[in-house]
Every structure is written in C-alpha cells, then in structure tokens.
Structure 1
Amino acid sequence: MNISFTKQQEEYITTQVESGEYQNNSEVIRDALRLHTVYRNKVINDLKIEIEKGLESGISKRSVKDIIESKRKK
C-alpha cells in the first residue's frame, strides 16, 4: 500500500512521534483511522436518528422554502 501525505500532515505525524505519545508513524496513522471510524459511525448513527425523527413526525404543511427561511433566521 502506498499512501501520500501533504507536508503539513507529515509534520503532524512527525510531531506526534517526537512527543513520545506514539512509537512510530504507523501508530499515528492507525490511531487516526480508529478515530475516523468512531467519528464516522457516530455521524451515521446521528443521521439515522434524525431521519427516524423526521419520518415519525409526519408530513409537514410547510414548504421547503419556509423551512430553509426559518433555519436562516436562527
């Protein structure tokens, strides 16, 4: 597997290893992937919950335009 990083990403990885929190670059990447998985699963679960709420709430009498306008005002 070949992975490319930006200069900024490489510097971040190096800094994490130099901090002593990680022993090598691979540990930093594995931790980042683990956290990404946790984050992604949370986002998907949160979206599913919101979709279910919407489905359970019934059909709205408001137009899409009205809904968007009410959100912009907040």
Structure 2
Amino acid sequence: MNITINKRQQDYITKLVKSGEYQNNSEVVRDAINLHRIYRETIIKDLREEIRKGWEGPISSRTIKDIIASKKKS
C-alpha cells in the first residue's frame, strides 16, 4: 500500500516521533487511523440516536419551509 502525505502532515508526524510520544512514523499513522475509526463510529452512533429520537418524538406542526426559514434567520 502506498500513501501520499503532504509536507505539513510529514512535519507533524516527524515532530511526534521526535517528541518521543511515538517510536516511529507507522505508529503515528496507525494511531491516527484508530482515532479516525473511533470518531466515525461515534458520529454515526450519535446521528442514529438523533434520527431515532426524531422518529419516536412528537409530530411537529412546523412545515419544512418554516424550519428552513428559521435556520436562515439565525
């Protein structure tokens, strides 16, 4: 597998390794991938919960136009 990273990302990885927090570049990338997985799983779980609340919640008298209009005002 080949992965391309930009200079800024490379500098960040190098900084983390030099700090002693990680032993090598691969550890940094593995940790980043694991954190990304956890982040995505959390976001998806939270979205599913909000959707469930919406489906199980009370029916609103507001129309889609009302909702959009209120968001445009804020």
In the superposition, the TM-score normalised over structure 1's length comes to: 0.89
C-alpha distance in 2 between matches for 1:65 and 1:35:
38
C-alpha displacement of 1:47? 0.2
Structure 2 gaps of 5+ residues are none
In 2, the alpha carbon distance for the partners of 1:65 and 1:25 equals 51
Q: Kindly, what percent of the aligned residue pairs are identical?
A: 59
Runs of 4+ in 1 over 6 A off after TM superposition: none
> Residue 48 of structure 2 aligns with which residue?
48
Mapped to 1, the partners of 2:22 and 2:41 lie a distance apart of 25
Q: Tell me the equivalent position of 1:59.
A: 59
Residues of 2 paired with 1:66 and 1:39: CA distance?
Answer: 33
Matching of residues 1-74 of structure 1 within 5 Å:
1-74=1-74
| Cα displacement (A) at 1:36 | 0.4
Q: Which runs of 5+ in 1 are unaligned?
A: none
The alignment covers a number of residue pairs equal to 74
CA deviation map 1:13-71 (0-9, x unaligned): 11110110000000000000110011000000000000000101143321112112333
